[in-house]
Structure 1
């Protein structure tokens, strides 16, 4: 497509970290608003797996410049996301925003942030501390990672053949022991011992074996730092409009609770008068606001229309 031919690779820096990404600026004479897209948890690249390209194409065709980038230690970016804090990752998003605003043909005052899932927490932190005209949180939990992950784990466990309510409760209690180990700054070996201090039904072995297989000391340290991150203080410090988008059938995020928490923050008496809240929930859509193999009907138009109206 024409928009793909306009995409170019770029690099920019945040302190000692060099970040690699891709930028696309619409090919027309007038200036364009812009958006920095920030991916979700884990080693997310500039495409957030396959999630971002169709969104990027639509936004560019709607006249919006787009920059997305590889997370620290992913693709062409230096550093390591497992060594980072939410503040570090928010600093990367601000560096990307500054870079995009400086590009020819981009209107800096109308260029904002889009974050998916964990990326929503990151862009909310960035927007709470820096001058950002608007922010989009896509599938972003309104609660802490510990609470959100427990919800997602419970959904997985209940779908396992042979799982009983008592067995699910026992598995969630084991998860709670991991969280408490993190809160007392236990090392990985102690956390593993806490988890295994009570027997679990064998039907859950595969789920938890995969969890421990992926866990090392650096990832455990990152998990401990992040698990109690609460987005509410950042929501209260916003000074710009916020669009919160959810899939109504999101299997990873408790959507109703998240909408309630976003709305509660929006109603707080100390909330800035410019920090309006728009919530869009797409029925039957998943965590990536997809229905089946494609994005939910109306999602792309809703996104571009809200951005251009800002």
Structure 2
């Protein structure tokens, strides 16, 4: 009888724990916006996207999301939800779409140049302006990392962008790559560091002379895929300085968000370039965060990151990041 009682209590405790956990997951994944699917014509195909709208008010404008590197879908597997919510709290809708070849979008993002990416953003903005159900009274571009080479091209080419939020944007492709490399070698031995730099220099030399992927694959023990090699070959000379200066002539407000623990981008170089270009049109906030604006602990531990993503995804980001995004939009 005693064993039966203990077993029953154990099962009840496990059930209670499961119910509490399920409640936390539901609560932690409930956000203050409504989201619907959209389809944006682009070239001969389409971009599959989402439009996130404030739940309790009419939106005064729209934020267009410009992704960083990699095969990113419209919601970044749900990781954009806190950014969508911050915009909604400021009275803005958010329009985001999967990169070409990702999700339901046609095409291949690895075939693009940064100019192609800027044209994609332009097509999405043209589509939004032609839709009565998309609030385009104010248009804000939000972009992260690789978007640093895309945002200024769009702003310089158009007169209908009202503001920009740049999150950990890159400035120079080759210097950014070297910064990323050296940041990852902080705990390496001198020989490991020298070997990694030498390998990087060999890759650079191949890129500079337009070597085919076959030559890269034969010379490197861990080569890029042919598709990635093509993407890098088309874009490794990217430098945003001239585009930043051209964009600055539009005098739109630019908010630059920098991470204190950025291993991907040299935040000091980025800040210098943006201050020199935009002057009084620029505001800057710095955050106790990694490159993606995630909390450093989340970035450094897969286990912690997974647990937070499942239970309370708002906590993935540095606590000041979404607040800065919301506050900048509120002032527009």
Common fold by TM > 0.5: yes
TM-score normalised per structure 1: 0.84
What residue ranges of structure 2 are gaps of 5+ in the alignment? 1-29, 299-315
Contact 1:135/1:241 (<8 A) preserved: yes
1:127 aligns with 2:139: no
- Structure 1 residues 306, 192: closer, same or farther in 2, change over 3 A? same
Contact 2:62/2:138 (<8 A) preserved: yes
Equivalent position SS for 2:87:
helix
Measure how far apart 1:177 and its partner are: 1.6
Return structure 1 stretches of 4+ with deviation > 4 angstroms: 27-31
Contact 1:31/1:105 (<8 A) preserved: no
Partner of 1:260: 272
1:69 aligns with 2:69: no
Equivalent position SS for 1:290:
coil
Show CA shifts across 1:139-190 (max 9, x none): 1122x2221112111222333xxx3224312321220221121121100122
Measure how far apart 1:95 and its partner are: 1.9
Choose between structure 1 and 2: higher helix proportion.
Answer: 2
1:297 aligns with 2:309: no
Partner of 1:203: none
Equivalent position SS for 2:319:
coil
Contact 2:61/2:92 (<8 A) preserved: yes
Bigger Rg, structure 1 or 2? 2
- Structure 2 Cα separation of the partners of residues 289 and 304 of structure 1: 15
Question: Bigger shift: 33-42 or 98-107?
Answer: 98-107
- Structure 1 residues 11, 75: closer, same or farther in 2, change over 3 A? same
What residue ranges of structure 1 are gaps of 5+ in the alignment? 196-207, 268-274
Partner of 2:208: 183
Partner of 2:143: 115
Equivalent position SS for 1:44:
coil
- Structure 2 Cα separation of the partners of residues 113 and 105 of structure 1: 19
- Structure 1 Cα separation of the partners of residues 92 and 133 of structure 2: 10
1:288 aligns with 2:292: yes
Show CA shifts across 1:55-98 (max 9, x none): 11221133110111100100010000111111111111122223
59, 64, 67: which is aligned to 2:87? 59
- Structure 2 Cα separation of the partners of residues 171 and 245 of structure 1: 30
Aligned length: 281
- Structure 1 residues 99, 28: closer, same or farther in 2, change over 3 A? farther
Show CA shifts across 1:103-160 (max 9, x none): 4465424112101111232222211211211111111122x2221112111222333x
Which residues of 2 match residues 29-40 of structure 1 at below 5 A?
30-40=58-68
- Structure 1 Cα separation of the partners of residues 213 and 126 of structure 2: 38
- Structure 1 Cα separation of the partners of residues 77 and 263 of structure 2: 18
173, 178, 197: which is aligned to 1:150? 178
- Structure 1 Cα separation of the partners of residues 59 and 81 of structure 2: 22
- Structure 1 residues 256, 49: closer, same or farther in 2, change over 3 A? farther
TM-score normalised per structure 2: 0.78
1:232 aligns with 2:241: yes
- Structure 2 Cα separation of the partners of residues 31 and 67 of structure 1: 12
Partner of 1:139: 168
- Structure 1 residues 50, 28: closer, same or farther in 2, change over 3 A? closer
